[in-house]
Structure 1
Amino acid sequence: MDFILMTEGDTPVGLTHEHRYRELIEEVLLAERVGFDAFGSSEQHVALGTASVSAPEVLYPYLMALTSRIRFIHLVTLLPTRMNHALRVAERVATEDILSNGRVELGTGRGNTTLALRAFEVDPSENKAQWREGIELIRSAFLNDVFSYVGEHYKIPPRSLVPKPLQGPYPPISAAAGSPSSVETAATMGIGAIMGGLYLGFDLVENMLKLYDKTLAATHHPYPITPRKMVAIAGGMHCAQTTAQARTEAKPLFEMAKLSTDAYERLSKLSQDYAYMGAVKDIDFNDEEYMFERSQGFIVGDPDHCIQHVQRYADMGADALVLRVDSLPHHQLLRSIELFGKYVIPHFKNPRNIVRPADDVLADIRPARPAHEEALRQYHANHTKETAR
């Protein structure tokens, strides 16, 4: 399983965006040191709280120059045509791929806030079709030299992409998938799916994971596929020395969750493509037990409790977890990243290397002694016979 650190530069009242960005950089550098596989941020425009990263394509190259191992995934690049022309996205990602020595991935989406969609004059009834055409255009530009495209929203004459990406056949591509329909679409297209984010519980996500596998296997794919099942922990991951401490510190994340989903019900009424988001109106964001333990929006606790939560996703067959670590004081975020990297990630990456208590090792040694002693007796008996000959 891969572990992806997600932070959006949520900047508290009274702090500057400059200061928060400096903190964010420190958090990413720590994440690389303690074993996170990738870092990602969303692309949020004119946001009121919860996020300040509007230009990840500018932020990432700076971080790429400061790192050597950690990968970078756009979570997500918005593909409505008024926000990002798909050909420009292909050019930018190819450039990032070169600068990072093949460490970039492209997550995509169509936007989930009325603030941004209205600011860019995006029609919610058209942006899903624009997103899909954008994916097809990007893959064609990456794969074919020369490429062209004719659709409802893009009409590109024969051209050659400059520069070309480093990874072959192209950097991994995925899509935000908050509904079963979106999961099916991603699997049909042979791209990864980033599932979750609605706080509706584990059953929904587990069914999405199964649906993805089933659809992917049943579909013929004309393009090289980049399948991956990613699950978003959208409310937040917070790890502390004790679960009680982690819960107390993480309670402010409920307000972030409410704010970040505030537009969902309105969007559900603007377009049938967003109808599934209306279910968020039934979530009680003040129910602490539900939010922390059953909503599927959080991984909060001491390292052992976090391991239990992650194991649940591993058992479901998730390939990666997108862990939002944000919206809390910087020192708490650093501690959470370090604890998760030191004690949780190794449990799933290198379990044989984790030092066990001496008593546990001795408990395994003692039952193994009789078999070893019997093997010694057999060896000596056979050796005596060979000598006698």
Structure 2
Amino acid sequence: MRFIFMSEGETAPGHTYEHRYRELVEEVLLAEEVGFDAFGTSEQHVAIGTATTSAPEVIYPYLMALTSRIRFVHLVTLLPTRINHALRVAERLATEDILSNGRVELGVGRGNTTLALRAFEVSPAENKAQQIEGLEVIRRALHNDVFSYVGQHYKIPPRSLVPKGIQAPCPPIHMATGSPESVRTAAELGVGAIVGGFYLGFDFIENMLRIYDEALVGATHTYPLQAQKLVAVAGGMHCAETRDEAVRWARQLTETVALSTDAYERLSKLSADYQYMGAVKHVDFSDERYMLQDSAGFIVGDPDDCIAQVQRYADLGADALVMRIDGLPHSELMKSIELFGKYVIPKFKNPRGVVRTPEAILDDIRNARPAHYAEVEAFGNADSHTDGSIKVGESR
């Protein structure tokens, strides 16, 4: 299980973007220190109230220079042609790969807000095809010394990408998937799938992961396989010293969820490609118990609660958790990151290294004694029939 810290630099009214970005830097540095595998942020343009990270490709190189171990995942780079030309994405990715010494990964998507799509004059009916073509352009550019592409949205003559990255065969690539059709496409392409974010429950997540596994086995892949199942815990992760404290803070996060999903139903009516997003209209965002426990959108509680909730995702077969840790005061986010890194991550990364209570160890010793004594007795009986039936400790 990989643990990916995700933040969108959510900035409260009355604060400044400058101050929030400096806080975010501190959060990433702490995340590396306490054991998170990766940091990622979304590419959100002209957002209102929930995200300020419009230029991850600028944020990441700064953080790469301050860190040495933690990886960086674009969650996600938008591939409508009016937002990002695929060749520019490939160039930036290769540059980041060099500057990070091989610590960057690419996630791709097509946009999930009308604010951004309309601002860049992106057609919701065309951006799915643009994403698929753009992804193919990126993969050709990264894998082949000389490449070309001819499609509906891109017509690129033979060219060679400059610079070339250092990860072989290329940085891991993932695709945002919100529907059974899209998660199947990711598997057939042989890239990772980022699932979740719709608060439809664990049955939905389980079904999406199953579809991915089945499609992966049945597909023939052109490029080296980069299969991985990433589950987005998009509502938020908040780990506190007590369950009550964690829930109290998490109530603020549910307000952000309602705002961030506000455009989903509108998008579902603009294009058949977004129709699946209309399912959120059946979610009762005011039902606290459902949201925090059963929506598959939150990990909230004390460290033991968080361990149990992470295990639920692990049991479903998730390879990585993308956990949004944002939307609360910086001091609380830092506490949450530290507690999760100190007590939760080791349970899944190095369980043998986690110190247990003396009582638990003594219980295991007592429970193991009967089998040990039975083995000793069996060994003694077997030895008594050896070498003239001389028993252990007996002399002639």
Superposition TM-score, scaled by structure 1 size: 0.96
- Equivalent residue runs for 1:175-186 within 5 Å: 175-186=175-186
Q: 1:287 — aligned with what?
A: 287
Aligned-partner Cα distance in 1 for 2:367–2:18: 60
Q: 1:169 — aligned with what?
A: 169
Aligned-partner Cα distance in 1 for 2:327–2:117: 23
Report the alpha carbon displacement of residue 299 of structure 1 after superposing the two structures with TM.
0.7
Report the alpha carbon displacement of residue 388 of structure 1 after superposing the two structures with TM.
7.4
Q: 2:337 — aligned with what?
A: 337
Aligned-partner Cα distance in 2 for 1:371–1:295: 44
- Equivalent residue runs for 1:93-242 within 5 Å: 93-242=93-242
Q: 2:56 — aligned with what?
A: 56
Aligned-partner Cα distance in 2 for 1:53–1:249: 23
Aligned-partner Cα distance in 2 for 1:180–1:349: 30
- Equivalent residue runs for 1:239-278 within 5 Å: 239-278=239-278
- 1:9-52 superposed Cα distances (whole Å, 9 cap, x missing partner): 00000000000000001111111111110000000000001100
Uncovered stretches (5+) of structure 1, i.e. residues with no partner? none
Tell which structure's C-alpha radius of gyration is larger.
2
Say how many residue pairs are matched.
Answer: 389
- 1:191-232 superposed Cα distances (whole Å, 9 cap, x missing partner): 111001111111011000000000010011111121100100
Q: 2:29 — aligned with what?
A: 29
Report the alpha carbon displacement of residue 282 of structure 1 after superposing the two structures with TM.
1.8
Aligned-partner Cα distance in 2 for 1:385–1:347: 44
Aligned-partner Cα distance in 2 for 1:190–1:224: 8
Q: 1:92 — aligned with what?
A: 92
Q: Which amino acid aligns with 1:94?
A: A
Percent sequence identity over aligned pairs: 69
Report the alpha carbon displacement of residue 368 of structure 1 after superposing the two structures with TM.
3.7
- 1:266-293 superposed Cα distances (whole Å, 9 cap, x missing partner): 1111100000111112221111011101
Q: Which amino acid aligns with 2:355?
A: V
Q: Secondary structure at the match of 1:193?
A: strand
Q: Which amino acid aligns with 2:92?
A: R
Aligned-partner Cα distance in 1 for 2:201–2:132: 28
Superposition TM-score, scaled by structure 2 size: 0.94
Q: Secondary structure at the match of 2:227?
A: strand
Q: 1:75 — aligned with what?
A: 75
Aligned-partner Cα distance in 2 for 1:189–1:35: 31
Aligned-partner Cα distance in 2 for 1:387–1:65: 72
Aligned-partner Cα distance in 2 for 1:369–1:380: 21
Report the alpha carbon displacement of residue 369 of structure 1 after superposing the two structures with TM.
4.6
- 1:146-182 superposed Cα distances (whole Å, 9 cap, x missing partner): 1111111111111110111111111000111111111
Report the alpha carbon displacement of residue 365 of structure 1 after superposing the two structures with TM.
2.0
Q: Which amino acid aligns with 1:199?
A: Y
Report the alpha carbon displacement of residue 371 of structure 1 after superposing the two structures with TM.
5.8
Report the alpha carbon displacement of residue 367 of structure 1 after superposing the two structures with TM.
4.0
Gap change, CA 1:365 and 1:98, over 3 Å in 2: same
Q: 1:11 — aligned with what?
A: 11
Q: 2:310 — aligned with what?
A: 310
Report the alpha carbon displacement of residue 97 of structure 1 after superposing the two structures with TM.
0.5
Report the alpha carbon displacement of residue 370 of structure 1 after superposing the two structures with TM.
5.9
Q: 1:354 — aligned with what?
A: 354
Report the alpha carbon displacement of residue 385 of structure 1 after superposing the two structures with TM.
7.4
Aligned-partner Cα distance in 2 for 1:384–1:33: 59
Aligned Cα root-mean-square deviation (Å): 1.9
Q: Which amino acid aligns with 1:297?
A: G
Report the alpha carbon displacement of residue 366 of structure 1 after superposing the two structures with TM.
3.0
Gap change, CA 1:387 and 1:94, over 3 Å in 2: farther
Q: Which amino acid aligns with 1:245?
A: E
Aligned-partner Cα distance in 1 for 2:392–2:270: 88
Establish whether residue 300 from structure 1 lines up as the match of residue 300 from structure 2. yes
Q: Secondary structure at the match of 2:338?
A: helix
Aligned-partner Cα distance in 2 for 1:196–1:385: 64
Report the alpha carbon displacement of residue 386 of structure 1 after superposing the two structures with TM.
11
Q: 2:326 — aligned with what?
A: 326
Aligned-partner Cα distance in 1 for 2:37–2:196: 20
Q: Which amino acid aligns with 1:79?
A: L
